[in-house]
Amino acid sequence: MSDINALIDEQVKNNDVFLYMKGTPDFPMCGFSGRVVQILGYLGVDYQSANVLENQDLREGIKAYANWPTIPQLYVKGEFVGGADIVTEMFQAGELQSHLADKGIAVKQTA
């Protein structure tokens, strides 16, 4: 396993909710990342994140790790959930809230 894969593996497996994004939760650098941050914020979900713009190896590595070509990428309990469109659709349908609750993640608000 390459160093970047080991780092990604450690991040997604050692954090209940992890978001790979462009920018930071306080300063998203793209609209898609911003949308996922807004959803997680609305739900009051505690999560960790990594800014892929700071590390080109991470930016490319996460795409290969999930076999998913775009960023952001949301992981819950080590499992890839999806990108901005999937997370948005799940949130609007109430499925994201259910998925998080099923995994034991505290959700403070419901849509």
| Domain annotation for the chain: domains and CATH numbers | 3-102 (3.40.30.10)
> What pLDDT score was predicted for residue 42?
95
The backbone torsions φ and ψ at residue 70, rounded to the nearest 5 degrees and listed phi first, read -120, 165
CB burial class (10 A; 0-12, 13-18, 19+) of residue 45? buried
> What pLDDT score was predicted for residue 111?
47
Question: What's the CA gap between 48 and 93, in Å, rounded?
Answer: 24
Low-confidence ranges of the chain (pLDDT < 50): 111
> What pLDDT score was predicted for residue 1?
56
30 is in an annotated binding site: yes
> What pLDDT score was predicted for residue 109?
58
> What pLDDT score was predicted for residue 2?
79
Q: What is the pTM of this model?
A: 0.94
